[in-house]
Amino acid sequence: MALDAIPSLQKRKIFTLLSHYSIEQLFSLNAEQLAKHKLKPEQINAFLAPNSTHITHCLEWQESAADNHIISYGDPRYPALLKQITSPPLLLYAQGDLSRLEASQIAIVGSRSCTPYGQQKAHDLGKHLAQAGFTVTSGLAIGVDGMAHQGALKGSGSTIAVLGTGLNNIYPRRHVKIASEIREKGLLLSEFWPNAPAYPSNFPRRNRIISGLSIGTLVIEASLRSGSLITARYALEQNRDVFALPGSVDNPQACGCLKLIQQGAKLVLDANDIITEYPELNISEAIHQKQHKPTKNKHFLLDMIDYHLTSFDTILARSGLDVVTLQNELIELEINGIIIAQPQGYIKLEG
């Protein structure tokens, strides 16, 4: 903890130092010896006078609840896959069931502003993968992350949320309830000390842990500038599998996934497409797929509404109906749960 509290000391530098010294030896070096390793003055001062307040606070946090854990890099509970990445965290703060770290993990990431289609797919894939025996790992963000966690909780409860904040500071606040359920049934994880706030720079760092814990990363709805593509890039750098859910070429939220598929990511239609990639895990493919309704009585308007946002004016032009008739037909489809209304238009859910 004292080493982790050294200001602005990068993980690579820490592991370089640890390749020459034990932790005890490091903190026994004098200022001149530390300076030879090109450390900054404030870093040298932190070695010479460790932040005892920080250390005490972290230890008190660990002792405050039976399911609070601090796992160091040398701890046998530290995930073996995470040790393989370029810059593994020196410490992991955890709340919940540590056995979730022992199961094979699949990361599910994607857009915060995902469509209803993306929300449903994230929920269903999270549920089916958890039911099959995987631990579903994500970042607790709104959108795809949150839906994947909720699906996994309904599946078997096997889910891990990796936070970009300390575990005393759940972010986003709207997911406090989900975080509480994950702590009860799964695991909350962070490399940041318990009261760490939500600095923007924390979240890209968090992404390397999400992919690093997992044997594969599934991306659901990501624009070309999405942070989820950072996680996919980390997965590739870590020699892990990358999966992507396809979407419409006209949907900006699907363009990142389509680009990944172009670059070699495996196209995923359902959980079995992931399960079959890992025959050595002996995971059953017996997943109940949604039964599609017969299409002989399909409403004619469904051919004019896309699975991504379609404006009223576009549907009006495609259908040739008058405004009042079209409004009535759309209301009927919405009541029947076949489409969903959005402020800028409609999205088809079925058909």
- Predicted TM-score (pTM) of this structure: 0.84
Predicted local confidence at residue 102, as pLDDT = 92
**241 plus 114 within the same structural domain:** yes
Does one domain contain both 264 and 312?
no
Model confidence over 68-84: pLDDT tens digits? 999 999 999 999 999 99
Location of structure tokens 């200022």? 31
In a shared domain, residues 104 and 140: yes
* 160 and 236 co-located in one domain: yes
Residue 215: what pLDDT? Answer: 98
Residues 127 and 20 in one domain: no
DSSP class of 219:
E
Residue 108 placed within a domain: yes
Whether cis (ω within 30° of 0) applies to the bond prior to 200 is no
Q: What is the pLDDT of residue 286?
A: 46
In terms of domains, do 115 and 244 share one? yes
Helix %, strand %, coil % of the chain (to 5): 45, 15, 40
Q: Both 39 and 154 in a single domain?
A: no
* 274 and 331 within one domain: no
**What CATH number has the domain bearing residue 314?**
1.10.10
Q: Tell me, yes or no, whether 294 lies in a domain.
A: no
Same domain (yes/no): 196, 332: no
User: What is the C-alpha separation between 56 and 54, in angstroms, rounded?
Assistant: 6
Task: Flag residues of the chain having pLDDT under 50.
Answer: 286, 291-292
Are 159 and 215 in a shared domain?
A: yes
CA distance 311 to 195: 44
Domain with residue 133: its CATH number is: 3.40.50.450
Q: Which helix (H) or strand (E) holds 293?
A: none
What is the domain extent for residue 139? 98-281
Give the model's pLDDT for residue 351.
62
Domain end among 246, 281, 316: 281
Domain count, the chain: 3
Is 2 inside any structural domain? Answer: yes
Pair 204, 108 in one domain: yes
pLDDT at res. 284: 75
In the chain the beta strands, taken as DSSP E runs, fall at: 68-72, 91-96, 105-110, 135-138, 159-162, 187-190, 216-220, 241-244, 266-267, 339-342, 345-348
In this structure, are 169 and 233 located in the same domain? yes
